[in-house]
Amino acid sequence: MLKNLDKNKIISILTLCIGGVICYLVWNFNHSGQDYSSYIAGNMLWLIFIPFLVIFFLFFDDVSNFGFRMPENPKLVWTVTIILGILTIFASYLPSLKIESLQNYYPIFKHFRNAEEIFFQANPFAIDMGKMVFAEAIYAMYIFAWEFFFRGFLTLGMARGFGLWAVLIQTIPFVLLHLNKPTVEVVLSGVGGLMLGLSAYYCKSFLPAFVLHVCLFVSVDVWVSLIKSTGI
């Protein structure tokens, strides 16, 4: 039997190698001209399903050790997360109003097949609230997959042998996978990747990072939609 320390080192190295392969495959998939529905489904497959198989059948480990659990010190963590989430929602308004590249790229759900006609002509939430809520829920699932992979699987998997270096390492592919997005988002992905990685590292959970990530990008989607359609 391997000593626990040796097992942790091996898991960290394997996580780094497997994670690198997954990131490469996700990059190729995301740049292969998929429609948005396939894009979401593919990311869910690569970033959740494959890591789960690795954890269960290669590492013989528990997903709770990769952040799939409630954070430590939950009362404090969730209080801070809720406050930061609310601040994020309001802070995202000005960039959504002023930065043209964000207005051109978002709302991300305009890329759903046959959805173009309901965007930017009127308030899409007024036209079909159910469809918009569904679109945002699907977007949240996509963000959940990214947060589990980067802040759970990669950060906490590598942290077992690499310590805090895991936070920096996972930030690199996180930024690279944003390179086809607006410049401001690429820059913020570096800052956000480090901050969310630190959150997962110390909380032993990716869930607070997921909540903050959802607050940011769903709010940008909503703000851009309302700004373009109503001029608020």
Per-residue pLDDT tens digits for 17-55: 999 999 999 999 988 877 777 888 899 999 999 999 999
The DSSP letter of residue 121 is S
Q: What is the pLDDT of residue 4?
A: 56
Angle CA 209–54–161, to nearest 5: 65
What Cα–Cα distance (Å) separates residue 231 from each residue in 25, 92, 135? 40, 16, 22
Residue 194 CA to residue 172 CA, distance in Å, equals: 9
Q: What is the pLDDT of residue 1?
A: 40
Q: What is the pLDDT of residue 174?
A: 97
Q: What is the pLDDT of residue 116?
A: 57
pTM: 0.91
